């Protein structure tokens, strides 16, 4: 019975923490608000490309879910006041673990692309790493709605 309860808690934790993943949007993806929106198009040449880490904002779901599940799991330890101490320790450790899982699930690799525009102006744009760029590539920079992206 105790093993079944532990497996159930682990299964619920996996489902809840899996829902913490931040949706990813690449350079070829448009959100609904970007459709039919006007964008300025500029042309240039890639000067440099640098790998970066993109971290989505934390929602707190990972911490809360981890603390809740850790508290339930910790309360199964011991009896009486031991259960209370186990629940508190489980909440703290579960919250820390849940936060770490959420951070890891939301972190992704991106590119910082420096472009020398035909106008002579330099731009550095950070975006998802779903398209490959090399120094010397001829590219276009699309700008509008408060953001820019580099495409071939």
Helix H, strand E, coil C: the string for 12-76 is HHHHHHHCCCCCCCCCCCCCHHHCCCCCEEEEEEEEEEEEEEEECCCCCHHHHHHHHHHHHHHCC
pLDDT value at position 17? Answer: 47
86-105 tens-digit pLDDT:
878 888 888 888 887 877 77
Q: CA–CA separation, 61 vs 73, rounded Å?
A: 18
| pLDDT band for position 24 (cuts 50, 70, 90) | low
Q: Which residue has the higher pLDDT, 11 or 79?
A: 79
Report the C-alpha gap between 108 and 31 in whole angstroms: 19
Which of 90 and 12 is assigned the larger pLDDT? 90
Segment 3-31 shows an average pLDDT of: 53
pLDDT of residue 22: 46
């Amino acid at each position: 019975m105790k093993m079944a309860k532990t497996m159930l808690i682990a299964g619920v934790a996996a489902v809840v923490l899996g829902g913490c993943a931040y949706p990813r949007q690449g350079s070829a993806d448009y959100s609904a608000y970007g459709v039919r929106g006007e964008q300025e198009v500029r042309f240039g040449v890639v000067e440099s490309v640098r790998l970066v880490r993109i971290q989505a904002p934390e929602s707190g779901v990972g911490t809360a879910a981890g603390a809740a599940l850790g508290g339930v799991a910790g309360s199964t330890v011991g009896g009486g006041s031991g259960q209370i101490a186990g629940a508190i320790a489980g909440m703290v450790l579960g919250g820390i673990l849940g936060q770490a899982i959420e951070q890891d699930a939301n972190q992704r690799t991106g590119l910082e692309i420096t472009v020398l525009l035909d106008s002579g102006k330099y731009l550095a744009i950070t975006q998802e790493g779903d398209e490959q760029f090399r120094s010397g590539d001829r590219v276009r920079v699309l700008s509008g709605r408060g953001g820019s992206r580099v495409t071939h």
